[in-house]
């Protein structure tokens, strides 16, 4: 079980749908401050604004990099991630090159991750998204093992753009990593019961859309 504050402190609240506006972003910022969210990820064009509006609060600004499939050239990924950090982002969520993983190009996939981490520096957490909904069980295991041997700081399950993360996905990852890298769950997490169950399986951070986060908080406060 978790209370509202504990949930907020595990939450990276996202506003990433195509129609997200400046007004939506400002609403997210105020809600995040009021509920002491750990971090927020909004439209990347508004990163400097979010940083300014959240200055002095306990909420960090994160940024997504190379959604949805991670196919950008490594050097572009690294440059983009570095730019977002220079704009004030304190966390980077990058997508693993899914094609590299599925093609068993593990050396290239590792270089992709490590190059981005080198670009953003040791003090900025790098969360690498493996996109579990498009992977087989064996590929989830392979991705989990791959990340343990890279400089990624977290393994993140999904972008939420290709399907939902399931409890089975979390169990596969948790059994494979055995606490060697923290797990961030994201993608279709819509209720407090799922949060409880995933936390029990070893999840320490959650990426949840603004609308779903508000619904979960409301249910926790009832």
The distance in angstroms from the start CA to the end CA of the chain is 14
Helical ranges in the chain per DSSP H: 4-8, 22-35, 47-54, 74-86, 98-102, 106-120, 137-148, 167-177, 192-200, 210-221
Classify each residue of 33-55 as buried b or exposed e, where b means 16 or more C-beta atoms within 10 Å of its C-beta. Answer: bebebbbbbbbbebbebbeebbe
Contacts of 61 (CB under 8 A, 6+ apart): 39, 40, 41, 42, 47, 50, 51, 54, 88, 89, 90, 91
Catalytic residue, from 77, 82, 127, 184: name it: 184
Catalytic residue, from 127, 156, 192, 199: name it: 156
Instruction: Report how far residue 29's alpha carbon sits from residue 167's, in angstroms, rounded to the nearest whole number.
Output: 30
Task: Let me know if 192 is a catalytic residue.
Answer: no
Catalytic residue, from 93, 127, 153, 199: name it: 93
Instruction: Report how far residue 95's alpha carbon sits from residue 93's, in angstroms, rounded to the nearest whole number.
Output: 7
Task: Let me know if 93 is a catalytic residue.
Answer: yes
Contacts of 56 (CB under 8 A, 6+ apart): none
Residue 186: phi and psi, rounded to 5, are -155, 155
Write out the catalytic residue numbers: 93, 156, 184
């Amino acid at each position: 079980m978790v209370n509202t504050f504990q949930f907020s402190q595990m939450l990276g609240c996202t506003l990433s749908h195509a129609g997200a506006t400046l007004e939506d972003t400002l609403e997210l910022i105020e809600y995040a401050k009021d509920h002491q969210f750990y971090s927020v990820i909004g439209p990347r064009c508004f990163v400097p604004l979010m940083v300014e509006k959240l200055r002095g609060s306990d909420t960090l600004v994160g940024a997504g990099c190379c959604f949805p499939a991670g196919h950008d050239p490594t050097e572009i990924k690294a440059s983009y991630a570095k730019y977002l950090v220079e704009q004030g982002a304190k966390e980077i969520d990058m997508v693993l090159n899914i094609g590299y993983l599925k093609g068993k190009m593990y050396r290239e996939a590792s270089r992709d991750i490590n190059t981005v981490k080198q670009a953003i520096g040791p003090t900025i957490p790098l969360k690498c998204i493996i996109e579990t909904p498009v992977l087989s069980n064996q590929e989830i295991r392979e991705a989990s093992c791959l990340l343990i041997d890279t400089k990624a700081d977290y393994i993140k399950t999904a972008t939420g753009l290709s399907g939902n993360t399931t409890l089975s996905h979390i169990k596969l990852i948790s059994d494979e990593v055995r606490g060697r890298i923290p797990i961030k769950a994201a993608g279709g997490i819509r209720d407090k019961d799922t949060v409880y169950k995933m936390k029990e399986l070893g999840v320490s951070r959650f990426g949840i859309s603004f609308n779903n986060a508000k619904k979960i908080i409301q249910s926790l406060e009832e």
